[in-house]
Amino acid sequence: MRGSRKSTSAIFEGMSWSDARDLLRLWREDNERKSQDVVNLWETILSKNIFKLGDERLLVLEQVCLASLDTNRLDIADKCLQSLAAEFPSSLRVRKLQALKLETLEKYDEALELLDSIIKRDETNAAPRKRRVAILRAKGKHSEAIKELTDYLKKFMSDQEGWQELCDLYLLEQDYARAAFCMEELILHNPHNHLIHQRYADIRYTQGGFENIELARAHYSLAFKLNPSSIRALYGIFLCATNIAVSPKATSPKRKEATKLANWVIKELSKRQERQNVEDSQVAALEGLISSVQLAASA
Amino acid sequence: MADMKLSVRAYSKIILHAAKYPHCAVNGVLLAEDPKSKDSKKGKGLYITDAIPLFHICLQVTPMAEIALTQIDHMASNSGLIIAGYYLANENIKDVGIERAGPRIAEKIAENYSNAYLIVVDNQHLTLNMDSFAIVVSQYVDGKWKTKERSSYTVEKNALDVVAGLLQQRAYDELVDFDNHLDNISLSWKNPHFNKLVEDLAETFGDQ
C-alpha cells in the first residue's frame, strides 16, 4: 500500500481545464519549479484545450516549453517552440527559449553564440546575459560565472535574482565574506524578508568568530520576529546563544543573557512540537548542549 | 573480504534523495552498527544500515548541519548506531568531487569516527533501471579521502531492483530530508514510512 500519497496524475484526474490553467498561473507567479507536474498537466488536460486559454495561451506555452526542457521532453518543447515561433517569428524572447533548448542538448557553444546575437540586438536585455552565467555554471566554470555575473550586476544593479545567484556561486567557492556582501545587498532591497535575514545569519555563523556570531544572532532574531514559525531561525538563535554563552570574549551579563535565550528557545521548540503532535522529542538532544553550556557559563 | 557492507535501506535513501532534487546538490549522513557493540563472530566489516538525508538547500552553511548532527548523534547512540560517514550528490551531473558541498561536515564526522566513509553519487549512472551502482566510495585514511575499490565493499542483494522499483513509483516524494523537517516539524527525518516502503519492496524480491 502506498499510504496517503497519490501519484501526481491521480491528483490531476478529474481536474477541469480552467483549474489546470489557474494552477499553472499560480506556479508562474510564484516562480515555482514544478516541471514534472507542469508537463503532466499539459499532457493530460491542457494541450487539448489550449485555444480556450485566450491571452494566457502564449504564457502557458512558454511555461510548458521551459518545463519540458527541464524534464527532457524535447518532443513537447519542440511543439511549443514551433507554435511560439510561428506567432512571433522575430521575437528575442522566443530566441532565448531556443538557446535554452541548445543548453538542454549540452550544445553550449551554439547556445552562447545565439545568446550573444540576442545581446547584440538589444543591449538592455537582461535575460540572455543571465543565461550566459547559467551556462558557465552548468559547465562547472564557477569563477568565470562569478566574473561574468559581477560585470552584469555593475550594469543591472537592482537585479535581486542576480545577487542571489552570485551569493550561491560565492558559497560554492566557499568565499563566505563575498557571499555575505551579496546577502547584505538583498537585505537592503528586502528588509522584511525573513528568508534573507536567515540566510545572512547562516553565512555569518558559518564564518564564525565572536562578532560574526553576534551578528548572526541579531539576524536570526529579526528573521524570527518577521516569521515566528521559522524553525530555522529558532535553531539559529539557539546555536548563537550557546556559542556566546561559552565564548571567552563575552562579558558575564552577556553570557547570562545568552543562556536565558537558549533556554527560552528550548521551551519554544517544545511548545511547537506539542502543537504539531511530534511524537519523539527532538529537543532532548539540544538539552544536552544546554547543560554543557550552563556548566561553562557559570564558571 | 569486504570491509564495508551497505544496506538496501541506506543505498535506496541515498539514490532517492538525489532523484528527488535533480537540480540541487544533496547530502546526508551514514549510520552504521556500532562496531564496539557487535559480537566478534559477525566479522570485521562495517555494516552501514541507514542513511539520514540532510539538505538540498545551501549545503555550504553550517548551522542547521550542526543541529542535525546533534540530533542524529543523540538518536544513534540510543539505538546502538554510530555516525560512520557522509554522502553527497553534486548539482552538476559530471561532478564526483567533494570540494563543493560540505567537506567540513565530512571531516567533522571523521573526527568522531576515524575511518569514516564518504559516498559520492555518480549522477551519470542514475537511470530508471539502475543497471549498476551509482556511487563512488571513499574512506578517510591518514587525513585524506581515499577512493575504495569496488571489491572492498558490498551492497546488500536486491538493492538495484529495489531502487529501480522505488524510482519508478516516484517514492522519493515520500522521502523526508532534514530541510523538509525544518519546513514542517511533523515530518520525521527518521523516515519510518519510507523505510517500510523499502522493506516491503525488498521482500517482494525475496531470495532471488
At A260, the amino acid letter reads K
Across the interface, do A7 and B73 touch by the CB < 8 Å criterion?
no
What's the CATH number where A266 sits?
A: 1.25.40.10
For A40-66, give one letter per residue: b (16+ CB within 10 A) or e.
bbbbebbeeebeebeebbbebbbbbbb
**Residue B40 pLDDT:** 47
pLDDT tens track for B87-123: 999 998 888 888 776 678 888 899 989 889 999 999 9
Q: Sort out which chain A residues have CB atoms less than 8 A from B169's CB and list them.
A: 2
Which of the two residues, A210 and A289, has the higher pLDDT score? Answer: A210
Contact status of B1 with chain A (Cβ, < 8 Å): no
**Residue A294 pLDDT:** 59
Domain-embedded: residue B199: no
Domain-embedded: residue B208: no
| Chain A to chain B Cβ contacts (< 8 Å) | 76
**Residue A5 pLDDT:** 39
CA distance A138 to chain B (A): 7
Domain-embedded: residue B201: no
CB-based contacts of B166: which residues, under 8 Å, 6+ apart?
B12, B16, B172, B197, B198, B201
Q: Sort out which chain B residues have CB atoms less than 8 A from A206's CB and list them.
A: 60-63
Q: Would the pLDDT of A286 be above 90?
A: no
CB-based contacts of A18: which residues, under 8 Å, 6+ apart?
none
Choose the closest CB to B174 out of A5, A216, A285. A5
CA distance A55 to chain B (A): 31
Domain, as residue range, for B108: 4-194
Domain-embedded: residue A130: no
Domain-embedded: residue B205: no
Domain-embedded: residue B200: no
CB-based contacts of A118: which residues, under 8 Å, 6+ apart?
A92, A95, A96, A99, A125, A128
Domain total of chain A: 2
Which three-class secondary structure state does DSSP give residue A64? helix
CB atoms inside a 10 Å sphere around CB B32: 26
Q: Would the pLDDT of A38 be above 50?
A: yes
pLDDT tens track for A158-193: 999 999 999 999 999 999 999 999 999 999 999 999
Contact status of B182 with chain A (Cβ, < 8 Å): yes
Q: Would the pLDDT of A102 be above 70?
A: yes
Q: Sort out which chain B residues have CB atoms less than 8 A from A270's CB and list them.
A: none
Dist. CA B140–CA B135, nearest whole Å:
16
Domain total of chain B: 1
Contact status of B185 with chain A (Cβ, < 8 Å): yes
Pairing relationship of beta strands B153-155 and B26-33 according to DSSP bridges: unpaired
> A58, A74, A104 — which closes off a domain?
A104
Across the interface, do A235 and B70 touch by the CB < 8 Å criterion?
no
Across the interface, do A140 and B74 touch by the CB < 8 Å criterion?
no
Q: Sort out which chain B residues have CB atoms less than 8 A from A201's CB and list them.
A: 63
Contact status of B146 with chain A (Cβ, < 8 Å): no
Domain-embedded: residue A236: yes
Across the interface, do B94 and A205 touch by the CB < 8 Å criterion?
no
Among the listed ranges A245-254, B9-18, B38-47, B193-202, which one has the minimum average pLDDT value? B38-47
Choose the closest CB to B60 out of A171, A238, A284. A171
Domain-embedded: residue A25: yes
> A81, A104, A127 — which closes off a domain?
A104
Domain-embedded: residue B204: no
Give the pTM. Answer: 0.91
Across the interface, do A174 and B60 touch by the CB < 8 Å criterion?
yes
Domain-embedded: residue B53: yes
CA distance B40 to chain A (A): 31
Domain-embedded: residue B203: no
Which of the two residues, A10 and A288, has the higher pLDDT score? Answer: A288
C-alpha cell at A193: 524578508
Across the interface, do B60 and A140 touch by the CB < 8 Å criterion?
no
Across the interface, do A285 and B100 touch by the CB < 8 Å criterion?
no
Contact status of B98 with chain A (Cβ, < 8 Å): no
Domain, as residue range, for A298: 174-299
> Is the separation of the CB atoms in B68 and B24 below 8 Å?
no
Q: What is the mean pLDDT of chain B?
A: 90
Nearest Cα residue in chain B from A200: B61
pLDDT tens track for A109-137: 999 999 999 999 999 999 999 999 999 99
Which of A49, A50, A76 is closest to A64 using CA atoms?
Answer: A76
Contact status of B173 with chain A (Cβ, < 8 Å): yes
**Whether residues A293 and A190 fall in one domain:** yes
Across the interface, do A286 and B71 touch by the CB < 8 Å criterion?
yes
Q: Sort out which chain B residues have CB atoms less than 8 A from A174's CB and list them.
A: 60
> Is the separation of the CB atoms in A204 and A212 below 8 Å?
yes
**Whether residues A83 and A197 fall in one domain:** no
Dist. CA A157–CA B196, nearest whole Å:
51
Nearest Cα residue in chain A from B166: A2
Domain-embedded: residue A79: yes
**Residue B1 pLDDT:** 53
What's the CATH number where B48 sits?
A: 3.40.140.10
**Whether residues A99 and A184 fall in one domain:** no
Domain-embedded: residue A152: no
> A70, A104, A138 — which closes off a domain?
A104
Dist. CA A240–CA A265, nearest whole Å:
11
Across the interface, do A206 and B170 touch by the CB < 8 Å criterion?
no
